[in-house]
Amino acid sequence: MSDSLRDKIAELKRQRGAVILVHNYQPAEVQEVADFTGDSLQLSRQAAKTDAAVIVFCGVHFMAETAAILSPDKTVLMPDPLAGCPMADMITADGLRKLKAKHPGAVVVCYVNSSAEVKAESDCCCTSANAVAVVKAIDAGKEIIFVPDKYLGEYVSEQTGRKMVLWPGYCPIHVLITEEDVLAAKKAHRGAFVMVHPECTGPVRGLADAVLSTGGMRRRAAESNAAEFIVGTEVGMLYRLAKDNPGKRFYPATQDAVCPNMKRTTLEKVLWSLEDMEYRITVPAEIASRARGAIDRMLAITG
């Protein structure tokens, strides 16, 4: 059945002039039909430069919104419109405006894991891959507000030496990964290289050999001489790592790190999305224009 679904998807993709962008946390079957897989930054870049008329975005809502902002002349489809991000829901544009009022003149750096409305209230976006570079590029005399992930903000502060005003948001999946999990995994797989996502808590980051975005994990796994890796992020990442590196072994820091929103996408939903041209993600022009400014400033810094 899955082969038949893949064939139908390939044919509809050709008919629609579509490209399928898939996040690293998506189910394995969905990653298999991707034209591009990657982290938020990599997929944002693909969305910005693609010549395809239709973008099928297999991820969560804020990612499809970002694609729609970057490609307003294209049709951006999301196979399951209910695939949201709890972290993104932890901050609102009104909440950010109130924080900005308490810190006049501060530069607002906004993690892409946020709504278009929050991006529109921000000066510059960032991803987990480029947050350190973005903060380093800000004038040393400027106060910085960093939203919404406090753990990524803590990591960036550690790496740059910049004190920042942090919003108390977090990823519910990454905070499930505990010190005990990592220590148990290290005991079970002695000598394995430990890499964790910067959305993890400080104690977990402190046990890692490297703190990396999912794109960074893919590069490190390919370049490293290590044969075994303990991976502290959403478990969907292990499929991509194993596929890219067949001679190496990858172990989750915990099997509990499963994002139910990322797993909402299925091959059937991708097919239905292309058949019915649903569900289209759009952003009001005024909000999109302001949010685009924050995204463009990020891309100007990081290339």
Indicate whether 27 and 159 sit together in one domain: no
Domain for residue 97, yes or no? yes
Distance from C-alpha of 203 to C-alpha of 200, rounded to nearest angstrom: 8
Q: Note the pLDDT of residue 40.
A: 79
Q: Note the pLDDT of residue 1.
A: 46
Model pTM score: 0.93
Q: Note the pLDDT of residue 190.
A: 97
Q: Note the pLDDT of residue 42.
A: 84
Domain for residue 66, yes or no? yes
Indicate whether 200 and 248 sit together in one domain: yes
Indicate whether 291 and 156 sit together in one domain: yes
Domain with 144 in it: 87-170+287-302
Q: Note the pLDDT of residue 122.
A: 98
* Residue 255: both structure tokens together: 């099997």
Total residues belonging to the chain: 303
Q: How far is CA 176 from the centre of its chain?
A: 17
Q: Note the pLDDT of residue 47.
A: 85
Q: How far is CA 272 from the centre of its chain?
A: 24
Beta strand residue intervals within 117-207, DSSP E: 124-126, 144-147, 165-166, 193-196
Tell me if 75 sits within 8 A of 278, measured CB to CB: no
Indicate whether 246 and 180 sit together in one domain: yes
Q: Note the pLDDT of residue 97.
A: 98
pLDDT in tens, the chain (303 residues): 467 999 999 999 999 999 999 999 999 999 999 999 998 778 878 988 899 999 999 999 999 999 999 989 999 999 999 999 999 999 999 999 999 999 999 999 999 999 999 999 999 999 999 999 999 999 999 999 999 999 999 999 999 999 999 999 999 999 999 999 999 999 999 999 999 999 999 999 999 999 999 999 999 999 999 999 999 999 999 999 999 999 999 999 999 999 999 999 999 999 999 999 999 999 999 999 999 999 999 989 986
Tell me if 119 sits within 8 A of 288, measured CB to CB: no
Q: Note the pLDDT of residue 79.
A: 98
Indicate whether 59 and 18 sit together in one domain: yes
Indicate whether 248 and 271 sit together in one domain: no
Distance from C-alpha of 80 to C-alpha of 262, rounded to nearest angstrom: 10
Indicate whether 97 and 57 sit together in one domain: no
Pairing of strands 193-196, 228-232: parallel
Tell me if 204 sits within 8 A of 179, measured CB to CB: yes
pLDDT per position as a tens digit, 45-60: 898 889 999 999 999 9
